[in-house]
Amino acid sequence: METYAYFRFPEQSKATLIAQNSGPVAALRSASELDGRSGFVFAPFAPSDTLPIILIRPDTCKSISINSQPPASGKTTISPLTSRENELGAYTADFNRFHHQIENGNLSKIVLARVSTLVSSAKVSPYTLFCRACNMYPHLFVALVSTQQTGAWIVATPELLLSATEKECETMSLAGTMKAADYKNGSGWTEKEYQEQKFVSLYINSVINQIAENITENGPETIAAADLVHLRTKFSFTIKDGHNVSDALAALHPTPAVCGLPKNNAMDFILKSEHSPRKYYSGFLGPWAVKQSTSLYVSLRCMHINDRIFDLYAGGGLLKQSTLSKEWEETEAKLNTMKNILYV
């Protein structure tokens, strides 16, 4: 399998290709091991020996045009590998276990993810899917990553985890989700969404205060992301002397937007209890120290491609007032971001 990453920043007309031409990719256990290195990073939700942080060395780094009309793959049918009833049953069991942790006071928030597997009648080019995603989602960060260790993944995400040029950094709190159609029809944000946004923003402010200065916070505001809208608060800051960008990354990931609060308790429960392992979903990816700049995004709205099998990932934050039906509907809406590029 070739080792490469195609990626396109939001609002950009061209993409970038980073490729490693020989040798194994760097497999790292922690953000601190990124110091002094450069390349495209692809990290899982919880790095381990079996799911390491991958760094693709930039032997090739070039700008490319995005194919506006990808070659058709023929008459291809896409169908679910598991019935809706079985998926909902597994999600219901997870929801009850996860929500119980909030009800009994162990956690104030936890994010529950799910996987939906689809199968294609014919093989579809990952690069074709990447081009479709770029054309369909101009406001999102879109990437296609391929390595022997990870397989092929496509991500289309609205959430910036960390951008940095030297010590000047930006990040965001992205929490609270609604269908764009409902928002346009006058549906307002509920207390649940505002509370979820507040949890994440307070967490980000607290952790960057330990390593940064000159912190500014703007938001929350409503932003569009494919067929959804989210609440977003933006942060900018300067890393203090004695700290570096990898310290900021280690402090931020995983944010409560993909994990929960208290962070360590929520992460432990997710790893032990979630029905399907997240793998590289809700991790992060992007160029690290390439041309003196770093731009990392949270791996939301993504899928793993294994020949004709597509594993689609989505999740949502649970609070005390969360209900099964609304959380299921939210994950269904998020899964559509990847389904839309398959059903073209």
What CATH code is carried by the domain that includes residue 179? 3.60.120.10
Residue 91 has pLDDT above 70, yes or no: yes
Does the residue 104 lie in any domain?
A: yes
Does the residue 89 lie in any domain?
A: yes
Window from 20-24, 26-30, 77-81 with minimum mean pLDDT: 77-81
Contacts for 270 with CB less than 8 Å, ≥ 6 apart: 45, 110, 111, 113, 259, 260, 278
Does the residue 73 lie in any domain?
A: no
* CA distances to 21, 125, 166 from 76, in Å: 32, 12, 47
Dihedral through CA 324, CA 325, CA 326, CA 329, nearest 10?
120
Query: How far is Cα 342 from Cα 321, in angstroms, rounded to an integer?
Result: 34
Question: Are the CB atoms for 110 and 318 separated by under 8 Å?
Answer: yes
Does the residue 138 lie in any domain?
A: yes
State the total domains in the chain. Answer: 1
- Sole residue written with tokens 């977003």: 232
Query: How far is Cα 66 from Cα 76, in angstroms, rounded to an integer?
Result: 23
In DSSP terms, which residues pair with 284 in a beta bridge? 43, 298
220-246: pLDDT as tens digits = 999 999 889 999 999 999 999 999 999
Does the residue 72 lie in any domain?
A: no
Which strand (E) or helix (H) includes residue 285? Answer: strand 284-288
Q: Say if residue 28 is exposed, middle or buried (CB neighbours under 10 Å; 0-12, 13-18, 19+).
A: middle
Q: pTM higher than 0.85, yes or no?
A: yes
Residue 30 has pLDDT above 70, yes or no: yes
The DSSP symbol for 188 reads P
Dihedral through CA 311, CA 125, CA 141, CA 212, nearest 10?
70
Residue 308 has pLDDT above 80, yes or no: yes
Residue 74 has pLDDT above 70, yes or no: no
Query: How far is Cα 217 from Cα 78, in angstroms, rounded to an integer?
Result: 43
User: pLDDT-based confidence at 75, cuts 50/70/90?
Assistant: low
**What is the residue range of 303's domain?**
3-67+78-342
**For the residues 128-144, what does the mean pLDDT come to?**
95
186-214: pLDDT as tens digits = 888 999 999 999 999 999 999 999 999 99
Query: How far is Cα 244 from Cα 229, in angstroms, rounded to an integer?
Result: 33
Query: How far is Cα 79 from Cα 105, in angstroms, rounded to an integer?
Result: 40
* CA distances to 162, 215, 218, 239 from 236, in Å: 10, 6, 9, 10
